[in-house]
C-alpha cells in the first residue's frame, strides 16, 4: 500500500517540469507487452534492448542469465535502467513459468513453420517477446514452450537482424498498433502510484534522509 502522504511530500522536492515529465511518461507506459532476453552474450545488446523498452513504453524487462551473467551497460542503456523494471532469472523455465502465470503468451521472435508476420500479429493478446542469443538464437526450451512465433519481414540477402534492432522494430510496431485499439493497455492507478514513488526514490539524492525526517516529524 502506497503512503500517498509520503509521495506528496517527496514530490515537493521535484521541479514542476520533472513531475510533468513523469506524468507524461507514465501515461504511455504499459505492461500489456513485455520483453525477455535469453543468455545474450554481448552486454551492449541487452542494454540497448532495455533502452528500446523505455523508449516505446514497455515497463518490465526480463533477463534470463542461465549461462551468462552480466551487469547492465549504463552507457548504452542511457539511464533506462532507472525507469524500466528489470526481472532477472537464472532459469529460462522459471522465467516462462512466471510470465505465463502473469497471463503473458510467450512469443518466440524467430522464423518458424507456424510463424506470424509482424504486420499480422494480434496485439490484443498480452504478450512477452523472447529474444535469443546472437548466434544460436532462442533455446529449445523457449521454442517448445512458445505459444506463437513472430518474424520481421525481410527482403534482402541478410537473413537476420541484431537483437536490439529486432526488438526496436517489433516494439515500435506493436505499441503503435496497440494504442489504436480499445484495449485497456495503460498502467493501473496503483501501478502508477508505485512508479511515482519509485522514481522519486531514484531521483532525490538525499532520499533516505528525507524519509527519515518525514517519519521523524510525523
Least confident of 59-73, 95-109, 162-176, 182-196: 59-73
The pLDDT-based confidence of 157 (bands split at 50, 70, 90) is confident
User: What is the sign, positive or negative, of the torsion defined by CA atoms of 90, 96, 97, 99?
Assistant: positive
User: What is the sign, positive or negative, of the torsion defined by CA atoms of 78, 125, 142, 168?
Assistant: negative
pTM score above 0.85: yes
DSSP string for 89-115: ES-HHHHHHHHHHTTPEEEEES--TTE
* Torsion angle of C-alpha atoms 136, 137, 140, 144, degrees rounded to 10: -160
How do the domains of the chain map onto residue ranges? 1-27+190-218, 31-185
Percent of the chain with pLDDT over 90: 66
What pLDDT, on a 0 to 100 scale, did the predictor assign at position 158? Answer: 74
**Alpha carbon distance 148, 114 (integer Å):** 8
Is the pLDDT assigned to residue 160 strictly greater than 80?
no
pLDDT mean over 73-95: 79
pLDDT mean over 32-37: 96
What pLDDT, on a 0 to 100 scale, did the predictor assign at position 115? Answer: 82
Q: What number does CATH give the domain 31-185?
A: 3.40.1280.10
Kindly provide the b/e burial profile for residues 148-179, where b requires at least 16 CB atoms within 10 angstroms of the residue's own CB: bbbbbeeeeeeeeeebbebbbebbebbbeebe
Task: Kindly give, in sequence order, each residue whose CB lies less than 8 Å from that of residue 189, ignoring residues fewer than 6 positions away.
Answer: none
Amino acid at each position: 500500500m502506497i503512503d500517498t502522504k509520503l509521495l506528496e511530500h517527496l514530490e515537493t522536492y521535484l521541479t514542476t517540469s520533472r513531475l510533468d515529465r513523469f506524468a507524461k511518461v507514465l501515461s504511455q507506459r504499459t505492461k500489456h507487452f513485455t520483453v525477455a532476453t535469453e543468455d545474450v552474450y554481448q552486454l551492449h545488446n541487452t542494454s540497448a534492448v532495455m533502452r528500446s523498452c523505455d523508449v516505446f513504453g514497455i515497463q518490465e524487462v526480463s533477463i534470463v542469465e542461465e549461462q551468462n551473467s552480466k551487469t547492465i551497460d549504463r552507457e548504452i542503456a542511457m539511464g533506462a535502467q532507472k525507469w524500466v523494471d528489470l526481472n532477472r532469472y537464472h532459469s529460462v523455465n522459471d522465467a516462462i513459468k512466471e510470465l505465463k502465470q502473469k497471463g503473458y503468451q510467450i512469443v518466440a521472435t524467430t522464423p518458424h513453420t507456424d510463424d506470424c508476420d509482424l504486420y499480422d500479429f494480434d496485439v490484443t493478446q498480452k504478450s512477452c517477446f523472447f529474444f535469443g542469443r546472437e548466434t544460436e538464437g532462442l533455446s529449445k526450451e523457449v521454442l517448445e514452450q512458445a505459444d506463437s512465433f513472430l518474424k520481421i519481414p525481410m527482403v534482402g540477402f541478410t537473413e537476420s537482424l541484431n537483437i536490439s534492432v529486432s526488438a526496436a522494430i517489433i516494439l515500435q510496431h506493436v505499441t503503435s498498433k496497440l494504442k489504436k485499439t480499445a484495449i485497456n493497455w495503460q498502467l493501473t492507478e496503483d501501478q502508477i502510484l508505485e512508479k511515482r514513488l519509485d522514481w522519486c526514490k531514484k531521483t532525490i539524492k538525499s532520499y533516505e534522509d528525507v524519509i527519515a525526517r518525514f517519519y521523524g516529524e510525523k
